[in-house]
A and B are shown apart, each in its own frame.
Chain A
Amino acid sequence: DAKTTQPPSMDCAEGRAANLPCNHSTISGNEYVYWYRQIHSQGPQYIIHGLKNNETNEMASLIITEDRKSSTLILPHATLRDTAVYYCIVRVVDANTGNQFYFGTGTSLTVIP
C-alpha cells in the first residue's frame, strides 16, 4: 500500500522552480524517500532519493523535513520536457522481501510556456 500522499496536479511556468510536495507521515526510521517521474508512454524514471539529509543531483533537489514526515522535490528551472507525472515513494526494506517500491497516484506536473 502507498505510504505517501501528493496533490493530484500542479502547474509551473517554464524557467521557474517547480516545488512538488509529498507527505509520508508514517515513514519508518530506515525507510528512504524516492522520487520517480513518468513521461507519457514510458516507464518510470528515477530522479533522486534520500533518508534524512537534503540531497541534490543534476536533475533535482530533495528537501526532507527534520521529522521526516514530508519532503519536497525541487526542479530548479522547469522546462517543457519536465511535464510528467511525479511519484513520491517510500522504499520499504523487509528482511524477507528486500527492497519494495510502492507507488501512490502521483502529481501531474504541467510546465506552461
Chain B
Amino acid sequence: EAGVAQSPRYKIIEKRQSVAFWCNPISGHATLYWYQQILGQGPKLLIQFQNNGVVDDSQLPKDRFSAERLKGVDSTLKIQPAKLEDSAVYLCASSPLRGMNTEAFFGQGTRLTVV
C-alpha cells in the first residue's frame, strides 16, 4: 500500500515569511498527526485530527501555526510568520481510528530551514 506522502521535502525561507506543508495520509486512516522534530530531539506532537476534526492541538503555537484537514483526507500545516526557532523537520503520520494493533505510519518529513 502507498505510504504517507509529504511535500515539499525541503524548504528554505526567510524569517517572517510564511510556509505551508502538505500531507496525504494512508487511504482510510481516520487519524492524522503533525509532529515537529528539532535537531537532536524526538518528535513533538503539534496537532492531531480524527477525520476532519481537531482532537488535540494543545502543543500547537496558535499565534503562528495553523492546520486544517478538509474533507478528512489530506492536510496542510501553515506557519505565518516563521521564526528562526521553527527550523525543524515536520513529520506527518496517520493511523487507523481504533484497534489494539494500531500503529502510526510516518512520512519522510519536510525539512524547514528559516534564515
| Partner-B contacts on A (CB < 8 A) | 2, 32, 34, 41-46, 49, 51, 87, 91, 96-106
Contact = CB atoms under 8 A, between A and B. Distances in A.
Nearest to A103: B42
Given A43-B108, A45-B106, A100 B42 contact: no
B45 A98 contact: no
A32 B104 CA distance: 13
Contact of A106 (B42, B100, B101, B102): B42
Contacts of A104: 42
Contacts of A102: 45
20 contacts: A34-B103, A42-B109, A43-B4, A43-B91, A43-B107, A44-B106, A46-B103, A46-B105, A87-B42, A91-B102, A96-B55, A99-B31, A99-B95, A99-B98, A100-B48, A101-B45, A101-B104, A102-B45, A103-B44, A105-B42
A102 B98 CA distance: 17
A98 B55 contact: yes
B9 to A, nearest CB: 9
A51 B100 CA distance: 9
A44 B95 CA distance: 14
Contacts of A105: 41-42
Interface string B29-57: 00101010000011111001010000110
